[in-house]
Amino acid sequence: MKQSLLALSIALLSGNAIANDAFNFDYVGAGYGKIKIDDSYSDESFNGFAIETSKKINDSWVISAQYLNTSRDYTKQYYYHRYTGAEVTGKTNVDLDVEQFNLGAAYLIELDESSVLELAAHIGRLNLESTTMGEELEVLDNVESVTSYTYGGKAHNSTYGLNVNYHYAFSDSFSAEAGIGYERINDAEQENEFVYQLGLNYNITPDFTISALYRNVDVYQNHQVTLRYNF
């Protein structure tokens, strides 16, 4: 009987050890980040970097923060005739920057030795900044005139969200997560959006993890691959 109890205790402790090793909620990470914005006019992808951190403050509660800094630029050339008969050639360069901040808190529920349910909430902000620079050459009756211009604009949206995320450990090195939720985007054309996300985590060593995350908020998407240091 004592041997059976001892064997059961060892099995339970081993299971908890796998879960604890697979799920890391204390980390800082950095890597590649991408934001894709979908609207009725076009789909724009912005590439850059992502920084993230998470801290487990007790057995059940976690606080976290994420920052993405991305950009995209393109150049357009054009040519046309004015009604005056002048020939106009021009070149425009547009630089677009998108930043995203998120601060979150989550409550963890351990379902069994290999799975955890995460009830999460976050507040955030999306910042968009554009800078347009151009030059135009006008030729009329062999007389040339050059015009240069620069202008910019800024916009931002505040976000609030709730998520339910399911984490599953396949081993002490490899885990996956899937989640659904809701996000409100203030001042957007559609303010209330359905959210889903998928993630994979591989523990290279107990101290370092490679993490990949895809998050879809309908009007925009997040892609990121980061290297985390677990503390």
E strand or H helix at 138, and its extent?
A: strand 115-140
What does the pLDDT read at residue 223? 97
pTM score > 0.85 for this model? Answer: no
E strand or H helix at 15, and its extent?
A: helix 2-22
Structure tokens, 12: 């339970």
What does the pLDDT read at residue 112? 92
pLDDT in tens, 141-194: 888 899 999 999 999 999 999 999 999 999 999 999 999 999 999 988 788 999
Q: Which domain holds residue 102?
A: 2-230
Q: How many domains does the chain have?
A: 1
Structure tokens, 215: 């998050």
Contact 131, 144 (CB under 8 A): no
CB within 8 Å of 96: residues ≥ 6 apart: 44, 46, 71, 72, 73, 128, 129, 130
Percentage, residues of the chain above pLDDT 70: 89
Say which amino acid occupies 117. Answer: L
The total number of residues written for the chain in this structure: 231
Cα–Cα dist 173/13, whole Å:
17
Structure tokens, 218: 């309908």
E strand or H helix at 24, and its extent?
A: none
Q: What is the CATH number of the domain that holds 66?
A: 2.40.128
Residue whose C-alpha is closest to residue 101's, from 64, 153, 47, 155: 64
